[in-house]
Amino acid sequence: MQGQTSQSILDAIGNTPMVRLGRIGAGLQCNLLAKLELHNPGGSGKIRSALAMVAEAERTGRLRAGGTLIEASSGNAGIALAIVAAVRGYRCICVTTDRQSPEKIATLKAFGAEVIVCPAAVRPEDPRSHHSVAWRLAEEIPGSWFAHQHGNPANPDAHRTGTGTEIWKQTAGRVTHVFCGLGTGGTATGIARALHEHDPAIQVIGVEPAGGLYGEFKRGNPVPRDRIPTHLTEGIGEDMLPEVLDLEELAEVIAVPDRDALLTTRRLARTEGILCGGSSGAVVAAALRWCQSHRPGPDTTIVCVLHDTGTRYLSRIFNDEWMKENRFVEERGGQTAGELCARKRAEPDAIPGLISVSPHSLLLEVLELLRQHEVSQIPVVEQGRVIGTVKEDRVVHLLIRDPEAKGRPARDVMDPPLPEVEPGASIETVSDLLREQPAVLVRTRDGLDILTKADLVRMIARWAT
């Protein structure tokens, strides 16, 4: 046929868009880009490796007409194989775990796959695990072929010839860093191999869920045998090291807590208009965190791989009730000052305790504490009693006019103490006090704590995400 017609949906695989994340990356000096693998047929990058694995099995005669494809998949690989099976006329059995979203299972069935759901919370060698069940079926069913994405070299190779090569071309060779989720590790390994052919200095950084094992392997730490994954970010993190994952190709592995991953996923939809899954959110969260600590300049071009579409997670990540049940978004109202302090202390970047100075501390030391902890006021404490507050604006005002004042004690420039509330005080009381004061002190069971305007802004912004 003339024109631009493809033979089948399989010809629409690859050449996915690369877009700038200009809103979520606002204020960064580097280029923050996203490779939209979710734009592939079936809604994920897994279709690249599925087609490559099937083509290889056909070529080598391991898969013949009328055969059965079997895969132990977290969902997307199964969906991808189901699509290839539908187009090429094979039967497809997908053995998956009960950690997958209902949408993934429904999608598998929509493409005509048979689905077997196994418990996620068992070790891979357990006969009930999805790996064990898939191997058993492959032995039992005549004419079947187990795709075995975790050990099949065609998986990373599809990303070397496809995804990685596209990243090099689309960035005109300017890519310096790639952040990529690690499931089987096929995507990251393939991308790294393609890019390292051009420039071995390009860093490919793997992203796994908090509690994942790959980072431990990468750092050469002993890996506990009995760790059972509990994360809710789907598609990344496995309970064993897959053969296709080449950790040597990765510069490092960053672990991202579910909360950061899923809230970033929601932000991507609301600020960039990109509806992707939780592993993509984890990748962007890792890249943003890396940018905070490395402060990359305009010569740095970061590519974030966005693995799959968010339509698979409408009942989870994009469902407020599910997010609240799992305590990823907080319910409004009903909070007390004590609860707000506890929540603040649980943040990953929280300052461990209350920062205070003595009335004799010199302004030079006070200034250093203000700078180091990025706070705007510090209580002045004498023998366990709060006797005043040193405020950033007053210290700065004084030091600009009189540099010698850096040798003066805090006592000389302190304001009266901040108001103090009981831990049972309501958030409304705290917010009323913060209209007049920069912060309030809270006398909790563990000692004195502080809630600032910035703390409240952060918490309210979180409810709004």
Task: Give the integer Cα–Cα distance in Å for 350 and 79.
Answer: 41
Residue of 34, 38, 182, 192 interacting with ligand PMP (CB under 6 A): 182
Q: Candidates 186-194, 224-232, 361-369, 442-450 — which segment interacts with ligand PMP by CB under 6 A?
A: 186-194
Burial class (CB in 10 A: 0-12, 13-18, 19+), 339: middle
User: Residue with the closest Cβ to ligand PMP?
Assistant: 235
State yes or no: residue 74 binds ligand PMP (CB under 6 A). yes
Task: Give the integer Cα–Cα distance in Å for 249 and 200.
Answer: 9
Which residues are the active-site residues? 46
Minimum distance, C-beta of residue 308 to ligand PMP, in the bound complex (Å): 4
Which lies closer to ligand PMP via its Cβ, residue 166 or residue 234? 234
Q: Candidates 108-116, 180-188, 290-298, 448-456 — which segment interacts with ligand PMP by CB under 6 A?
A: 180-188
Minimum distance, C-beta of residue 264 to ligand PMP, in the bound complex (Å): 14
**Segment (H or E) for 180:** strand 177-181
State yes or no: residue 452 binds ligand PMP (CB under 6 A). no
Helices (H), 298-362: 320-325, 337-345
Residue of 186, 296, 310, 388 interacting with ligand PMP (CB under 6 A): 186
Which lies closer to ligand PMP via its Cβ, residue 63 or residue 77? 77
Of 276-295, binders to ligand PMP (CB under 6 A) are 277, 279
State yes or no: residue 260 binds ligand PMP (CB under 6 A). no
Query: Nearest CA to 50 among 16, 90, 19?
Result: 90
Residues present in the chain in total? 465
Three-class DSSP category at 461? helix
Residue of 157, 258, 308, 449 interacting with ligand PMP (CB under 6 A): 308
Which lies closer to ligand PMP via its Cβ, residue 46 or residue 266? 46
Task: Give the integer Cα–Cα distance in Å for 230 and 209.
Answer: 9
Vertex 324: Cα angle to 321 and 330 (nearest 5)? 135
Which lies closer to ligand PMP via its Cβ, residue 187 or residue 301? 187
Which lies closer to ligand PMP via its Cβ, residue 76 or residue 336? 76
**Segment (H or E) for 79:** helix 76-88
CB atoms within 10 A of CB 464: 9
CB atoms within 10 A of CB 267: 18
CB 177 within 8 A of CB 301: yes
Three-class DSSP category at 132? helix
State yes or no: residue 307 binds ligand PMP (CB under 6 A). yes
Extract the runs of DSSP E, i.e. beta strands, from 217-337: 252-256, 301-306
Minimum distance, C-beta of residue 36 to ligand PMP, in the bound complex (Å): 13
Which lies closer to ligand PMP via its Cβ, residue 133 or residue 410? 133
Of 188-247, binders to ligand PMP (CB under 6 A) are 188, 234-236
Which lies closer to ligand PMP via its Cβ, residue 187 or residue 389? 187
Q: Candidates 72-80, 266-274, 376-384, 431-439 — which segment interacts with ligand PMP by CB under 6 A?
A: 72-80
Residue of 67, 185, 281, 438 interacting with ligand PMP (CB under 6 A): 185
C-alpha distances in Å from residue 429, one per residue of 232, 344, 386: 36, 18, 21
Task: Give the integer Cα–Cα distance in Å for 168 and 86.
Answer: 32
Strand partners, 450: 441
Helices (H), 295-436: 320-325, 337-345, 363-373, 392-401, 427-434
Of 76-105, binders to ligand PMP (CB under 6 A) are 76-77
**Segment (H or E) for 85:** helix 76-88
Q: Which amino acid is located at 48 in the chain?
A: R
Contacts of residue 42, Cβ cutoff 8 Å, sequence gap at least 6:
76, 79, 80, 83, 111
Q: Candidates 112-120, 129-137, 176-184, 375-383 — which segment interacts with ligand PMP by CB under 6 A?
A: 176-184
Number of residues that bind ligand PMP (CB under 6 A): 21
Which lies closer to ligand PMP via its Cβ, residue 42 or residue 67? 42
Strand partners, 388: 380
Of 13-52, binders to ligand PMP (CB under 6 A) are 44, 46
Residue of 132, 187, 264, 356 interacting with ligand PMP (CB under 6 A): 187
Minimum distance, C-beta of residue 194 to ligand PMP, in the bound complex (Å): 14
Task: Give the integer Cα–Cα distance in Å for 112 and 91.
Answer: 8
x/- mask, ligand PMP, residues 109-148, rule CB under 6 A, reads ----------------------------------------
Residue of 68, 129, 132, 184 interacting with ligand PMP (CB under 6 A): 184
Which lies closer to ligand PMP via its Cβ, residue 67 or residue 237? 237
Give the residues lining the site for ligand PMP (CB under 6 A): 44, 46, 74-77, 181-188, 234-236, 277, 279, 307-308
